[in-house]
Structure 1
Amino acid sequence: MRITAYKYQATGNDFIILDNRDGSVTLTEDQIKYLCHRRFGIGADGLMLLNKSKKHSFSMIYYNADGKEGSMCGNGGRSLVTFAAHKGIKKFDFEAMDGLHYAELVSYTSSACVVKLGMTDVNEVKEYSPKSYQLNTGSPHLVIFVENVKDYDVLEQGKLWRYHPHFPEGTNVNFVQGSWGRFNIPKFEEGQDQKITVRTYERGVEDETYSCGTGVTASAIALHKLLTRNKFSYSKVDIKIPQTVRNIIETKGGELEVEFTYTGEDNYRDIKLTGPATYVFSCVIDC
């Protein structure tokens, strides 16, 4: 079987995309793993199928680089929307593992788009420790705030937490640094954009990736949780509800924006992930 494969990347998170709207593509776990291999295949953090949907514009099937079907991938979603736009699709409501998503094009060219992707609501943020939080943004994440993320051993520490007994199904791990010192965590200031740097160890890739869409989303929400607590007692700070928050996140692969509306307790709504996605190349493969 000969298939046209398309390579896309979103802030360095790279993917193989196959147009499967006719339902003809059938790949085994080993074949997907081979195609994603950076020495023997095309090389990618994951593989996606653009499938037909009866009710919506299309559906998204995502596989990790280990060949196993994965949970939601935010950067993958933005890449798939860009691919769909390049294929002539005009409306971007699509089904994924975690439910229905909506997206819009902020900008469009024949090689790249900036996509604003709607993410699933978050209803629970668990405080794992005073500076680490556990939540699900379509994929499970642990967010840990550290002092010097640039020199942090993400591979070693990420692997340790990814396989920790507390997470029997595994978790993605994000290491986050803000612009404050260890004992100078600021209180939340409404209307003020927060800027953080995030590095992520991804489950399924089993390595650090250049960026992770669901990871930066989780990090932005965890940051809000951290900043709306008193910096000494960690008691909750009085804030207006509902409240719209915007974050600028720096990753190895570039800058992303996360915005959301906080409606009280651990409820986060209207979550949007915005950033670029770029066509890299296409090729024909034999499977």
Structure 2
Amino acid sequence: MKFWKYHGIGNDFIVLDCITDPVPVDPAWCEQVCDRHFGIGADGVLYILPGQGTDITMRIINADSSEAEMCGNGIRCVAKHAVDTGLVDKDEFTIMTGRGVLKAKVRKDPDDEYTSFVQIDMGAPILDARSVPVDFDGRFIDQPFEADGVKFHANAVSMGNPHFITFDDIGEENVRRLGPVLEKHPFFPKKTNVEFAQVKDGKIHITVYERGAAWTLACGTGACATTVAAALNGLVPFDTPVDVRLPGGWLKITADSKLGYVLMEGPAELVYTGDIDYLR
């Protein structure tokens, strides 16, 4: 079975074309091949499936075998792959995801045949706390929180998957300790992604503990959720592209002032292709 290895600013994925070569979505197999010592190694597996009233469909299985509703860096890789391999014959198209239909625009990097820049309309952020979901009524924005003896202010935003964001400087030691603690905290009935963010000179810098994948080099939905939270807290402007730095590189995020959409733009790069037996 052929696979493609991609990354979006360091968030890496195994891509499977299940339109040309149908295989079942198999979470246990995904966990095996994502192992960085005994498998191919990746943060997750991206299945490209026939469209459901859209051009294509994407499903995401994390490295721990759980399924994610959405993945911002992953969808850019899927969009690039669909254009490069002819699964779609246009540069603007629709993708069905766990959070609904999203629109993609792809433009190739004229200086690098392996890289494309992809813009995704990520849809509207979800701010109702019960819908994120977190155990709170109303919006959970700039609210006090305590975990493992550390007090800080935080924000809960969903981009189809849950994110918990703090802009407080709690120190590197607490960041490393709280990432896995917060992911599985009972406040989050479906667990959560965690973003530790700082705003410097109008740019957002984020460290991410990703639900189902632990510390990652990037999280596209996390960059979107954090930008929305930053704008709601008056730290960055609405309706203006904001540079967002993750450990693996930069994204550009625009949050609509009416909270009707969030635009994400960033690179997607093919790393290599290969063949693997589909064995359990």
TM range (shorter): 0.7 to 0.9
SS of 1:26's equivalent in the other structure is coil
- Measured against aligned partners, the alpha-carbon deviations of 1:47-89 in whole angstroms (never above 9, x if no partner) come to 0111111422100011111122211000000111011111122
SS of 1:31's equivalent in the other structure is helix
Counterpart amino acid of residue 179 in structure 1: K
SS of 2:67's equivalent in the other structure is coil
- Paired residues of 2:252 and 2:264 also in contact (CA < 8 A): yes
SS of 1:286's equivalent in the other structure is coil
Matches within 5 A, 1:23-42: 24-42=22-40
Q: CA deviation at 1:198?
A: 0.4
* 1:226 matches 2:233: yes
Which residue matches 1:278?
269
SS of 2:68's equivalent in the other structure is coil
Which residue matches 1:179?
200
Q: CA deviation at 1:140?
A: 0.1
Matches within 5 A, 1:60-139: 60-88=58-86, 89=88, 90=90, 91-108=92-109, 110-124=113-127, 125-127=139-141, 128-129=143-144, 131-139=153-161
Q: CA deviation at 1:260?
A: 2.1
Which residue matches 1:159?
180
Counterpart amino acid of residue 120 in structure 2: L
Provide structure 2 residue ranges, at least 5 long, that are not aligned to the other structure: 128-138, 145-151
Q: CA deviation at 1:110?
A: 3.2
- Paired residues of 2:105 and 2:119 also in contact (CA < 8 A): yes
SS of 1:131's equivalent in the other structure is strand
SS of 1:156's equivalent in the other structure is helix
TM-score normalised by structure 2 residue count: 0.85
SS of 2:31's equivalent in the other structure is helix
* 1:200 matches 2:221: no
SS of 2:239's equivalent in the other structure is strand
Distance change (3 Å), C-alpha of 1:166 and 1:22: same
Distance 1:53 1:155 in 2: 40
Distance change (3 Å), C-alpha of 1:112 and 1:285: same
Q: CA deviation at 1:148?
A: 7.1
SS of 1:121's equivalent in the other structure is coil
Distance 2:215 2:175 in 1: 7
* 1:146 matches 2:168: yes
Distance 2:235 2:118 in 1: 29
Query: Which of 1 and 2 has greater Rg?
Result: 1
- From 7, 18, 30, the equivalent of 2:16 is 18
Distance 2:44 2:175 in 1: 20
Distance 1:51 1:28 in 2: 14
- Measured against aligned partners, the alpha-carbon deviations of 1:224-256 in whole angstroms (never above 9, x if no partner) come to 111179xxxxxxxxx9xxx51321111110011
TM-score normalised by structure 1 residue count: 0.83
- Paired residues of 2:52 and 2:96 also in contact (CA < 8 A): no
Pairs aligned (count): 254
Taking every aligned residue pair, what percent have the same amino acid on both sides? 30
Which residue matches 1:236?
none
Which residue matches 1:249?
244
Which 4+ residue blocks in structure 1 deviate beyond 4 angstroms?
A: none
Q: CA deviation at 1:123?
A: 4.3
- Paired residues of 2:125 and 2:261 also in contact (CA < 8 A): no
- Measured against aligned partners, the alpha-carbon deviations of 1:155-185 in whole angstroms (never above 9, x if no partner) come to 32111111111112210000001127xxxxx
Distance 2:212 2:234 in 1: 31
Counterpart amino acid of residue 200 in structure 2: S
Distance change (3 Å), C-alpha of 1:269 and 1:54: closer
Distance 1:286 1:123 in 2: 40
**What root-mean-square deviation, in Å, do the aligned CA atoms of Structure 1 and Structure 2 show?**
2.1
Distance 1:47 1:153 in 2: 30
Counterpart amino acid of residue 121 in structure 1: A
Provide structure 1 residue ranges, at least 5 long, that are not aligned to the other structure: 181-193, 230-238
Q: CA deviation at 1:152?
A: 5.1
- Measured against aligned partners, the alpha-carbon deviations of 1:106-147 in whole angstroms (never above 9, x if no partner) come to 434531101011102024252232731001012100001133
Q: CA deviation at 1:210?
A: 0.2
- Measured against aligned partners, the alpha-carbon deviations of 1:76-104 in whole angstroms (never above 9, x if no partner) come to 00111011111122242110000000011
SS of 1:178's equivalent in the other structure is strand
